[in-house]
């Protein structure tokens, strides 16, 4: 397991990975070239072409050649578990994995998902997600990814991919690039400036490529007016040349628009493929690609390159060594002939628990201490009475919310609702439970009136645009809690002086109405926790574990404060430029309600002994291209460290965060940007050292004129703290003899 992102080991692995004659991609390419030489033209094209939607057991399937021992490749959603199969584990969504800020858990979640994929015979698991990055707080699919911050997202991509691929499945980093909203996603152009492209949207994909991700999925939208899946600039130049991506590019489902252009631009596999004219967009390869190569429109070398990349990814993961057969079909209920779930429920519970963000805790009303009576209120406290999987692709918001909707889902094998788990604890404690499990304000108030403490559950859902839920066409219509959640909290707070609000949400919700109720003593943000929802919540509510999640995005006081949102117009010009989320709030002096990186604990932490040891030289990063980009970008250039002490009475975990401000010689930049973090688990009185390892990229901006990552000269500002605004230590260092 790789814990330190850019440790010496990681650096040497990156340096050796490709083009240097070592194991990994080089070995895989040698095998792929031998296999390629045995294939005829139809077989080559078949390896790059999907057999059509529902044409095989998986959501994507290719044609199997007969000349070599290579299967019909099985590509299957999703980023949080195996879609359309059961039993499988329904993991916490990416956004919760991101909220743990825990490298070990990110890896463990990836490894467990990868085991399930491999066990079921899935060759390619379609995740993880770094696009959308989440610049629009109301974007429908942000929860599939990890964080709106590219650094946090990048670390999460790297750990997740390493976990998945160590288990044997090919990961697929998606969606490349600029797919930030659901509205108009198949017609719009994301027009993104070059600097924002690199510093925000490409950044986490650099980590993905550096982690040797096998495949990348190009997105539905256009990038700067050209379809992502036929953009020479985005595929050939940016992804393959600049980032040195050795794997293959697969289209999003029906995101291909031309046969020849997409091939020339660098697309390597089309999905889901079809020999029929419907659905549109799937008729381009297959026999047409054979013809295009025959008539010279697509060079033979390009077809050979596609196939080499696809085969190399398969060999890279040793999938030629007795890989299991596909043991389920997506189209008949998904019943698998094997049970791959093992003890993954414990990974789910740990990630869900450690992603819970405690936003407010007045008068230490949490943890609960054997309350005499507890009112549990809101439909979000119970599992949908029609069943946790009652709606296709989780396309409804009935009962407790534990994942969003769309292709990025999996079937719950079971779902522990909050009330189920609280009842178990209440029995042990002798607590009387009063419940009102609808969103009725009057019923909620009458349940709450007699109880010592009332816990109100509210939620906010979102998903993929092919399903509309309660008027939300993927993207959210607003950032309010659904089902009149504000009114429900108000009604309960009017009759009970000790109210705890639990939020299950795909992203930020506006909390002003809730916070305006003096009776609301605590707010617990539980995100999208997956199948162990209730158990993880009880772990934190009752103090078995101190909350240790930190917000992976900003919670604003009002929607307009974000300065971004999904765009109803046909194109989006990404006017936010490099200033999204906290970068925007910091630059414009806007006070958020709860800032990026924020989260309370049941204990307290003290920071001391800031130590800065940076030895970077100014200028551009060059060097040969390794997976991820020019080699020097990833060069280790020093450490910053701080001592963190648990000064409270209970054990807990703190995410120490490093933010860096670039010197004045850099072009206008965010006041500070996350450039390191470490989660420390500390007993009362115990201290631990948080060490942030820096690479040249962490100190760089993307220089548009020279098209390089450049370390500016001058004085850098160092901020170390408990959130992006709770800065406990300041420092400086100088690069380039100032």
Catalytically active residues, by annotation: 252
Q: Minimum CB separation from ligand BGC for residue 184, in Å?
A: 14
Nearest C-alpha neighbor of 202 from the set 250, 143, 133:
133
CB of 252 to ligand BGC, least distance (A): 5
CB neighbours (10 Å) of residue 20?
Answer: 13
Name the minimum Å distance from CB 449 to ligand BGC. Answer: 46
> How far, in Å, are 33, 266, 481, 482 from residue 503 at the CA level?
52, 43, 8, 11
Minimum CB separation of residue 253 from ligand BGC in Å reads: 4
Cis peptide bond N-terminal to 230, omega within 30: no
Beta bridge partners of 652: 682
Pick between residue 165 and residue 254 the one whose CB is nearest to ligand BGC: 254
| 126 vs 164, beta carbon nearer ligand BGC | 126
Give dist(CA 577, CA 555) in Å, integer: 20
Q: Which residues contact 426 (CB under 8 A, 6 or more apart)?
A: 374, 432, 433
* Residue 553 CB, nearest approach to ligand BGC (Å): 21
Q: How far is the CB of 255 from ligand BGC (least distance, A)?
A: 8
For ligand BGC, give the closer residue by CB, 29 or 220: 220
Q: How far is CA 99 from the centre of its chain?
A: 10
Nearer residue to ligand BGC within complex by CB, 247 or 563: 247
Question: Which phi and psi (to 5°) does residue 401 adopt?
Answer: -95, 120
Local structure of residue 65 (DSSP, 8 states): P
**CB nearer ligand BGC, residue 330 or residue 724:** 330
Q: What gap in Å lies between CA 74 and CA 57, rounded to an integer?
A: 8
8 Cβ neighbours under 8 A, 6+ residues apart:
636
- Report d(CA 162, CA 493) in Å as an integer: 46
Contact 468, 476 (CB under 8 A): no
Binding site for ligand BGC (CB under 6 A): 59, 77, 126, 174, 252-253, 407
Question: Of the candidates 129, 105, 174, which has an alpha carbon nearest to the alpha carbon of residue 346?
Answer: 105
Residue 530 phi/psi, 5-degree rounding, is: 80, -165
- What the block records as the tokens of 302 is 């390009």
- Nearest approach in angstroms of CB 185 to ligand BGC is 8
Residue closer to ligand BGC (CB basis): 26 or 252: 252
For ligand BGC, which is the closer residue by CB, 43 or 182?
182
Rounded-to-integer distance, Cα 99 and Cα 145, Å = 11
Q: What are phi and psi of 37, to 5 degrees?
A: -65, -15
């Amino acid at each position: 397991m790789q814990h330190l992102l850019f440790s010496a080991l990681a650096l040497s692995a990156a340096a050796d990975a490709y083009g240097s004659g070592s194991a990994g991609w080089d070995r895989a390419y040698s095998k792929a070239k031998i296999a390629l030489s045995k294939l005829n033209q139809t077989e080559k094209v078949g390896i790059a072409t999907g057999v059509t939607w529902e044409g095989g057991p998986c959501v994507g399937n290719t044609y199997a050649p007969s000349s070599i021992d290579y299967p019909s490749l099985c590509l299957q959603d999703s980023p949080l578990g195996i879609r359309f199969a059961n039993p499988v584990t329904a993991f916490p969504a990416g956004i919760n994995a991101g909220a743990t800020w825990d490298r070990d858990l990110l890896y463990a979640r990836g490894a467990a998902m990868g085991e399930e994929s491999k066990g079921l015979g899935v060759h390619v698991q379609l995740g993880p997600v770094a696009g959308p990055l989440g610049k629009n707080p109301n974007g429908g699919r942000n929860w599939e990814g990890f964080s709106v911050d590219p650094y946090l997202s990048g670390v999460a991509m790297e750990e997740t991919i390493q976990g998945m691929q160590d288990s044997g499945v090919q990961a697929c980093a998606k969606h490349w690039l600029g797919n930030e909203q659901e509205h108009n996603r198949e017609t719009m152009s994301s027009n993104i400036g070059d600097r924002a492209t690199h510093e925000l949207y490409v950044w986490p994909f650099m980590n993905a490529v550096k982690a040797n991700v096998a495949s990348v999925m190009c997105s539905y939208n256009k990038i700067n007016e050209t379809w992502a899946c036929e953009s020479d600039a985005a595929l050939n130049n940016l992804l393959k040349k600049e980032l040195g991506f050795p794997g293959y590019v697969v289209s999003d489902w029906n995101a291909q628009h031309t046969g020849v252009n997409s091939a020339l631009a660098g697309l390597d596999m089309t999905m889901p493929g079809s020999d029929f004219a419907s659905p549109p967009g799937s008729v381009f390869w297959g026999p047409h690609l054979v013809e295009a190569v025959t008539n010279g429109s697509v060079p033979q070398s390009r077809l050979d390159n596609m196939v080499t990349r696809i085969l190399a990814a398969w060999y890279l993961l040793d999938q030629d060594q007795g890989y299991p057969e596909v043991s389920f079909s997506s189209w008949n209920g998904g019943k698998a002939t094997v049970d791959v779930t093992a003890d993954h429920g414990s990974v789910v519970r740990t990630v869900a628990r450690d992603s819970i963000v405690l936003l407010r805790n007045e008068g230490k009303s949490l943890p609960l201490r054997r309350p005499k009576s507890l009112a549990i209120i809101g439909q979000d406290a119970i599992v949908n009475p029609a069943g946790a999987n009652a709606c296709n692709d989780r396309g409804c918001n009935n009962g407790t919310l534990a994942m969003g909707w769309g292709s990025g889902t999996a079937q719950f094998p079971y779902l522990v609702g909050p009330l189920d788990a609280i009842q178990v604890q209440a029995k042990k404690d002798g607590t009387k439970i009063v419940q009102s499990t609808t969103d009725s304000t009057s019923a909620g108030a009458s349940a709450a009136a007699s109880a010592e403490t009332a816990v109100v559950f509210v939620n906010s859902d979102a998903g993929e645009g092919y399903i509309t839920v309660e008027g939300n066409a993927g993207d959210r219509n607003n950032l309010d809690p659904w089902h009149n959640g504000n009114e429900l909290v108000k009604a309960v707070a009017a009759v009970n002086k000790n109210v705890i609000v639990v939020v299950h949400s795909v992203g930020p919700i506006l909390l002003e109405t809730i916070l305006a109720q003096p009776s609301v003593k605590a707010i617990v943000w539980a995100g999208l926790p997956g199948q162990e929802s209730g158990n993880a919540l009880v772990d934190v509510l009752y103090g078995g574990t101190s909350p240790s999640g930190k917000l992976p995005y900003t919670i604003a006081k009002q929607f307009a404060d974000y300065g971004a949102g999904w765009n109803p117009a046909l194109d989006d010009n990404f006017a936010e430029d490099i200033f999204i989320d906290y970068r925007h709030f910091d630059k414009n002096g806007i006070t958020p309600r709860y800032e990026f990186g924020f989260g309370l604990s049941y204990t307290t932490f003290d920071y001391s002994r800031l130590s800065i040891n940076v030895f970077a030289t100014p200028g551009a990063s060059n060097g040969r291209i390794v997976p991820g980009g020019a080699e020097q970008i990833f060069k280790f250039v020093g450490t910053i460290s701080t001592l963190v002490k648990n000064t409270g009475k209970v054990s807990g975990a703190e995410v120490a965060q490093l933010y860096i401000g670039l010197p004045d010689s850099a072009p206008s930049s965010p006041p500070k940007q996350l450039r390191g973090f470490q989660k420390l688990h500390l007993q009362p009185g115990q201290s631990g050292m948080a060490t942030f390892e820096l690479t040249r990229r962490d100190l760089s901006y993307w220089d548009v004129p020279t098209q390089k990552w450049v370390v500016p000269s001058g004085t850098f500002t160092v901020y170390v703290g408990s959130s992006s605004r709770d800065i406990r230590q300041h420092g400086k260092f100088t690069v380039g003899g100032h």
